[in-house]
Amino acid sequence: MTLLNKQNEYYLSKVRNNKLSKFSSMGKGLIAEQVVANYLCVDNLNIKYNNFNHSFDLFNDILGRINVKGRKLRKQSNGVYTKYRNWNFRFKYQYITGKNRVDTYFLIGFDEDRKNILRVWIIPNRNILKETFCITNTEKGLSEYKKYEIDAKPFNDILHKISKIGCPYLCDVNGG
């Protein structure tokens, strides 16, 4: 069994037993995916197919293969203090190009505590030109991505609904 398969099985066992911590990186990703899945009224394919190694998270007839990236607002980047807060999104090269290519990315910009969704961008794959996207929370930084931004309120409402009723598969303890 490869390391990737072992990790996949580890997360699947946590999901099946509702023991995936919402504080783990996988739990945080699952919350962002569930918010977008609820918004689009589609299934989360990682859950549906019992496979966290899937090259995309959701599928929609109009948007195609969708990958969801959620990041919290940060004050630091690579250990260097920055004056402006930003969201750093990372993409796997094989999902930008090649046979596993994703059609659309949903970028979810959370606040520093991941309690609110402040920004949402929908970016077609053809506009992802590098493996790291840094969106700075300034007028100039945000204006660069304005054409991709949509209203974050419905996403934030879904996040709060999930927080209130609980997200299936997740638990409230640390250490996923």
Question: Mean pLDDT lowest for which of 1-15, 42-56, 109-123?
Answer: 1-15
118, 86 contact by CB (below 8 A)? no
Domain of residue 108, residue span: 3-171
Would residue 176 count as lying in a domain? Answer: no
Place of tokens 């989360």: 44
84, 141 contact by CB (below 8 A)? yes
Would residue 134 count as lying in a domain? Answer: yes
Per the model's pLDDT, the better-predicted residue between 159 and 20 turns out to be: 159
H and E: helices and strands count for the chain: 6, 10
Residue 148 has pLDDT above 80, yes or no: yes
**Overall number of domains in the chain:** 1
Residue 93 has pLDDT above 60, yes or no: no
Express each pLDDT in 12-48 by its tens digit: 555 555 555 566 666 677 889 889 999 999 988 877 7
Q: State residue 88's pLDDT score.
A: 84
Would residue 156 count as lying in a domain? Answer: yes
Residue 116 has pLDDT above 80, yes or no: yes
Residue 60 has pLDDT above 60, yes or no: yes
Place of tokens 């979810």: 108
CA–CA separation, 146 vs 38, rounded Å? 23
Residue 175 has pLDDT above 50, yes or no: no
Rounded percentage of the chain residues whose pLDDT exceeds 70: 63
What size, in residues, is the chain?
176
